[in-house]
Chains A and B, each alone.
Chain A
Amino acid sequence: MNKRISNPSTPSCALELDCVSYSANHTDIIKKVSGQFPRGKITALIGPSGAGKTTLLKLCNGLISPVEGEIYIDGKRIEEQSPMSVRRHVGIVLQSSPMVQGTVKDNLALPLQLRGKTLSDEQAIATMDRVGLPSSLLTRDARELSGGQKQKVSIARTLLNQSKILLLDEITASLDPSSLREIEDLIVKLNETEKISIVWITHNLEQANRIGEYFWVMVDGELREVGTKEDIITSEDEDVKRFVRGGLS
């Protein structure tokens, strides 16, 4: 079941997928998905493992292209925009939070460096402050940071591209409860103060419950349910019922 909430050109929609399919190695991973991510809201993208959630985010960031269907960013076809501008506009933070060789500052400077610019010390300190990290970490080897710190650096790095849409791929999956809450607070704050549209993949239904304003439920490469929490809880789809049972309240 694929649902639409409004016209792609309306300002309420940050991203829209129209009958998008993706396959690799003769396996269908995304099957004719149509739907929208509302502008300025946090959408929790949930579903069991292997549902195609990460693949969907990579499609939205332009790291891969659909074999069928169209993706619209702010009402414009993704294929009509340069891959570089799409990726800067739609930032993605990956679960593994990969760091390039070097210090935390080197990692923060990466998006600017890719455009031939430099990151000033003042900008670096302000960026660390924005994600709640002490500036004393700037000279540390980025690969020695804790999981939570790495995720915050990843988020800060993506934000330096001034992304208007942020795609988060299970960024708290391996964090301890206190780091997890810190990241959640940070994302909610970014969403509220900077009006960044967020799409957050999470396996943790309690987390989805806390942060999600809008929900997508994917099962086996298909978008089975979209809407508010109530829409998901009252879904008629058996797979959705089974998945969310006891998790959303």
Chain B
Amino acid sequence: MSWMTLSLTLIFVFIPLLLSKTLNLGLERDTIVATLRSTVQLIAVGFVLKFVFDSEHAIFIILMVLLMIVAAVQNARHKGKAIKGITWKLFVTFVAIEVLTQTVLLGLHIVPPTAQYIISLSGMVIGNSMVLAILFLNRFTAEVEAHRDESELILSLGGTPKQSINRQLMKSIQASMIPTIESQKTIGLVQLPGMMSGQIIAGADPVQAVQFQLLVVFLLLATAAMTSVLLGFLSYRSLFTERMQLLKIDLN
């Protein structure tokens, strides 16, 4: 696809702009900003990736993955600002998931140890983990605040902080995992995943594209479970004082 052809796709941007203007949705500015940001970010990433892929140097791969993790932490941490030390907790979660998944993928020779594979799969893992973390933090803090009387009851009877919010923790882990599980149930029926479609458009063998997509599906399932569980267990203690008292959570 040439840059000229690509520019024709801006027609798809004019549609929401037109609708926003006509229906007074007030989304024109945001639409333009989103279009400009995605264009600049993706073009920049394209050149960076080209450089990293060409160099095949481990340090650039690590730096690229670290950049993804830092960006994901930056984006997700606002949702968990009520939790003390949320920045490093998110960082530890994303790093642990990345290390674990790459160890399995590379250790078992499931994918070759090249920048092309490592960075692409890391992007999917970290991106999914970030969305999961946001969903989990949103739900967890809201659940704890909504069931404060129940938690205080358990604490007042001599329960531990973990016992007092166990139900809310499990419910939030479950709730944050449901979208991933549900979307994967209909994969191939309702939607063709982006990566698979991209590979097919680029001329790859559809069966091989399916194989890679399955790898990603399984990877994302594991990511979903690990993100919520790890983040949940790292975070819940921060909602209590040293004297096992439940702190007030600012949901705004």
Residues of A within 8 A of B (CB): 24, 61-65, 79, 83-85, 87-88, 91-92, 94, 96, 98, 100-101, 110-111, 114-115, 157-158, 161
Contacts of A161 in B (CB 8 A): 157-158
The answer, among B149, B157, B241, for a CB contact under 8 Å with A110, is: B157
Q: Is B239 among interface residues, defined by CB-CB distance under 8 A? A: no
8 interchain residue pairs of minimum CB distance: A88-B158, A114-B159, A83-B244, A98-B149, A87-B158, A84-B158, A98-B153, A111-B157
| Beta-carbon contacts under 8 Å, B160-181 to A | 160, 163, 167
* B243 at interface, CB cutoff 8 A: yes
Query: CB < 8 Å: which of A63, A88, A94 contacts B245?
Result: A63
Distance in Å: Cβ of B166 to nearest Cβ of chain A: 11
Chain A residues contacting B153 (CB-CB under 8 Å) are: 94, 98, 100
Give chain A nearest CB distance to B249 CB in angstroms.
14
Number of interface residues, chain B, beta carbon within 8 A: 19
| Chain B residues positioned under 8 Å from A84 (CB to CB) | 158-160, 244
Chain B residue at minimal CB-CB distance from A89: B158
Contact A114 B156 (CB under 8 A): no
- Contact (Cβ within 8 A) A114 B154: yes
Contact residues in B for A87 (Cβ distance below 8 Å): 155-158
Question: Which residues of chain B are within 8 angstroms of A110 by Cβ–Cβ distance?
Answer: 154, 157
Instruction: Give the docked Cα–Cα distance between A84 and B156 (Å).
Output: 8
B163→A98 contact, CB < 8 A? no
Binding site for A on B (CB under 8 A): 149-150, 152-160, 163, 167, 241, 243-246, 248
Of A83, A88, A96, A157, the residue contacting B243 (CB under 8 A) is A83
**Once the chains bind, are A63 and B152 in contact (CB under 8 Å)?**
yes
**Which A residue's beta carbon lies closest to that of B152?**
A63
Residues of B within 8 A of A61 (CB): 156
Q: Are B245 and A111 in contact (CB under 8 A)?
A: no
A61 to B157, CA, bound (A): 9
Is A96 a contact partner of B149 (Cβ separation < 8 A)?
yes
Q: Which residues of B contact A100 (CB under 8 A)?
A: 150, 153-154
Q: With a CB–CB cut-off of 8 A, which chain B residues contact A64?
A: 245
What is the bound-complex CA distance between A11 and B40, given in angstroms?
A: 76
Enumerate chain A residues within 8 angstroms of B163, measured Cβ to Cβ.
Answer: 114
A63-B241 Cα distance, complex, nearest whole Å = 10
Per the bound structure, the CA–CA distance linking A87 and B157 in Å amounts to 6
Contact between B156 and A85 (Cβ–Cβ < 8 Å)?
Answer: no
- Can you give 13 A-B contacts (C-beta < 8 A)? A24-B248, A62-B244, A65-B245, A83-B155, A83-B243, A84-B244, A87-B155, A87-B157, A91-B156, A110-B157, A114-B154, A114-B163, A157-B157
Q: Are B150 and A111 in contact (CB under 8 A)?
A: no
Q: How far is the CB of A17 from chain B (nearest CB, A)?
A: 17
**A112 smallest CB distance to B (angstroms):** 10
A96 to B148, CA, bound (A): 12
Residues from chain B with a CB closer than 8 A to the CB of A98 are 149-150, 152-153
In angstroms, how far is the closest chain A Cβ from the Cβ of B126? Answer: 36
Residue of B nearest to A82 (CB): B244
Provide the residues of chain A in CB contact with B160, threshold 8 Å: 84, 114
In the complex, the answer to whether A111 meets B149 with C-beta atoms within 8 Å is no
With a CB–CB cut-off of 8 A, which chain A residues contact B245? 62-65, 83
* Chain A residues, CB < 8 A from B167: 101
Shortest C-beta distance, B158 to chain A (Å), equals 4
Minimal beta-carbon separation of A94 from chain B (angstroms): 7
Q: How far is the CA of A114 from the CA of B152 in the complex (A)?
A: 13
Which chain A residues border B241 with CB–CB below 8 Å?
A: 65
A3 CB, nearest partner CB in chain B, Å: 28
List chain B residues, Cβ under 8 A from A92: 156
Q: State how many angstroms separate the Cβ of A35 from the closest Cβ of chain B.
A: 22
* Chain A residues near B149 (CB-CB < 8 A): 94, 96, 98
For residue B86, give the distance in angstroms from its CB to the closest CB of chain A: 22
Taking the closest CB of chain B, its distance from the CB of A245, in whole angstroms, is 34
Residues of A within 8 A of B157 (CB): 87-88, 91, 110-111, 114, 157-158, 161
Chain B residues positioned under 8 Å from A63 (CB to CB): 152, 155-156, 245-246
Interface centre among B149, B157, B244 (most CB of A within 10 A): B157
When C-beta atoms are compared, the residue in chain A nearest to B164 turns out to be: A114
Measured CA separation A63–B153 after assembly (Å): 10
